[in-house]
Amino acid sequence: MNLPEAFINKYQKLLGDEFDEFLASFNNPVNHGFRVNPLKNQLPTDLDLTHPTPFSKWGYYGNVKGKSLNHQSGAVYSQEPSAMMVGEVAAPKPGQTVLDLCAAPGGKTTHLASFMQQEGLLVTNEIMGKRAKVLVENVERFGIKNALILNETPESIATSFPNFFDVVLVDAPCSGEGMFRKDPDAISYWSEEYPIKCADRQRTILKEAVKAIKPGGNLVYSTCTFAPEEDEQMIAWLLETYPQFEVVSIDKPAGVEDGRPEWANGNEELKKTARLFPHKVAGEGHFIAKLHLTEAIFPNKEVKKQRDSLTKEQRGYLNDFISEYLPGCPQSDFITFGDQVYVLNSETPDLNHLKVKRPGLQFGVFKKNRFEPSYALALTLNKESFSHCIEIDKEQWAKIVHGDTIKVENAEKYKGWVLLVCENQSVSFGKLVGETVKNYFPKGLRFAI
């Protein structure tokens, strides 16, 4: 790999005797990985689960095809192996309030949701509009019910959620040095000054992120770069600027090293942070720090809650659907955006003045004199939770994702909406007309096998 001369000189000085091994690692093959989805009721049956990663209890080495049942149904999520350690360090508990501030494409968000088990509020944010769209798709595919998806600035998040979150994850935009092997194009925009510019942006983000953490909460900061300016020096700055934080020790799998105080201000607390080097672990380069907020930094402010916004007529259509198809469904509040209806999490703040991509789980859409359930809802369900389910095979699944209709046997026992299930994975809703299943797989997501 053709690395910049300034990069080579920098790390030759920093790493000393281990530099040659570090440099050689850039010519090694990239390690691919995936996580299985614990929010689904069934593990995928046709994947090799014999090579677990040390970075996550749900993580494995291997490849997942994008045009596969496991990917389409959200049974798995492709993720670089060492990146899995970030979510494992954050490890939120069910019922907590959690923020993923720089979230796209969604790897960390889906990992956080795995810990939360559909309980609490997960606010996941991406400032770039196109990337926010990808984040929405991955959140919905994973079957997450408790996510509020925003397309906002850190400043706006801090204003709307003061002293609010139990866990805040800042997977900061960085110089990307740790991804050079995986994404050689990242080398083209690297320069000797680039880590310094990134560090300036990271400090701006962190100044807002800390305003959103409640006393007793945790901040997890991570990058995919080796640059001390963005790693140990960033945490040293954070501790000096906000003495209310203390560093939390991170459990480190074999090969994961302590942070290096000598690359910052010599503060020994920086050893509690974690560094992942590609010549030490089977993965790419990362830095992770976890900090605990011992007392409030800023005065507390009241956060107004969002309220249920359904009309009486809409509530009637929704209740009719739930009573027929979702027996035992817990009572929920809902919010409408135009004709779309979403499940409203009880912790959701007032959404005025926020750029909202999804205020909660997209439950469906109101049409003239009826309610139509969403694809996102289908991916949160299993065959035990929906009253009308039809098992389809892989050949029928291929027709569904392509947008075709299918014929089913013994259709007389069903009518109306059906949940299509393939190899125990929910894949979409359909509507039964005679023996034909009318296809409701989203047009924008259809593909050919």
User: CA 428, 148, 221, 115 torsion: positive or negative?
Assistant: negative
For the record, the structure tokens of 24 come out as 């050689």
Torsion, Cα of 304, 305, 311, 315 (10° steps): -170
Catalytic residue among 224, 329, 389, 422: 224
φ and ψ of 334, to 5 deg = -135, 160
SS3 of residue 394 by DSSP: helix
Quote the CA–CA distance of 177 and 186 in Å, as a whole number: 8
Q: Which of 14, 32, 34, 35 is nearest to 23 (CA)?
A: 14
User: Annotated binding residues, as ranges?
Assistant: 102-108, 126, 171
In the chain the first and final C-alpha atoms are separated, in Å, by 35
Q: Would residue 174 show up in a list of annotated catalytic residues for this protein? A: no
DSSP string over 94-133: TT-EEEESS-TT-HHHHHHHHHHTT-SEEEEE-SSHHHHH
DSSP 428: E
Quote the CA–CA distance of 245 and 264 in Å, as a whole number: 17
Quote the CA–CA distance of 387 and 335 in Å, as a whole number: 24
Largest Cα separation within the chain, whole Å, is 74
Inter-CA distances, 35 with 68, 70, 92, 114, Å: 15, 11, 17, 10
DSSP string over 185-250: GGGGG--TTHHHHHHHHHHHHHHHHGGGEEEEEEEEEEES---TTTTHHHHHHHHHH-TTEEEEP-
Residue 278's contacts (CB-CB under 8 Å, 6 or more residues apart) are: 22, 25, 26, 28, 178, 181, 284, 285
For the record, the structure tokens of 385 come out as 């939770």
Residue 270's contacts (CB-CB under 8 Å, 6 or more residues apart) are: 232, 235, 236, 247, 259, 260, 261, 264
User: Annotated binding residues for S-adenosyl-L-methionine, as ranges?
Assistant: 102-108, 126, 171
What is the set of active-site residues?
A: 224
